[in-house]
Amino acid sequence: MISPRETIEVGVPIEGGELPGFLDLPQQASGLVLFAHGSGSSRFSRRNQAVADVLYRGGIATLLFDLLTPNEHEVDQHTAELRFNISLLVERLVRGVDWATADPRTSALPLGLFGASTGAAAALGAAAQRPQPVRALVSRGGRPDLAGEALAEVEQPTLLIVGSLDQQVLEMNRSAARKMHIEPKIEIVPGASHLFEEAGKLDTVAFLARDWFLEHF
């Protein structure tokens, strides 16, 4: 039985401030998924919110939080430099994982990471650094190739979702998969482009992610 939806505004502490986020916590949640946004996106990402809604209705708690501070986000909107600073994004996501394992509302829940675009590289890097609490990963149109040496250190079950029309990113995912110690599953969504904007394609991503996390929590 899913509780009435109540989004809780939270802050993930970092040096000199905190990263704002939205926590949605159903009753008897099977796990918690942290979202790693990419390409200058934030907790207000329409696509990630749509995926989070499907997860919530599947009994999975979600945390959408910014990986950049408001000032950093403003800089990135003009320079696009921080969205490719993978080490910074990994560090911020690790802070989110540590926050979730310490907060009494979420500390007992197994964790999953959902990364989009460059956020997928951040998710892989964070999973390599926090192998115990993080149980599973999902990438949507991601750039796992940007995770570098962390690829070989990831042990968690990993699902890479790519649109069939996104050929360049598909090849990047295949190349990254060959460098991983575990064998990730690559799910190709027919007729979908990079942003999964075609009718019903983002729903497919959300259902695939939901099922993956429920299987591995």
Kindly report the pTM of this predicted structure: 0.94
pLDDT tens per residue, range 149-188: 999 999 999 999 999 999 999 999 999 999 999 999 999 9
Look at residue 1 in the predicted model and tell me its pLDDT. Answer: 47
Question: CA nearest 44: which of 71, 67, 27, 26?
Answer: 67
Q: Where are the domains of the chain?
A: 7-216
Question: Mean pLDDT over residues 126-132, rounded?
Answer: 97
> In CATH terms, is domain 7-216 a member of 2.60.40.1180?
no
- The mean pLDDT value for 191-216 works out to 97
Q: Report how far apart, in Å, the C-alpha atoms of 148 and of each of 46, 103, 124 are.
A: 28, 30, 9
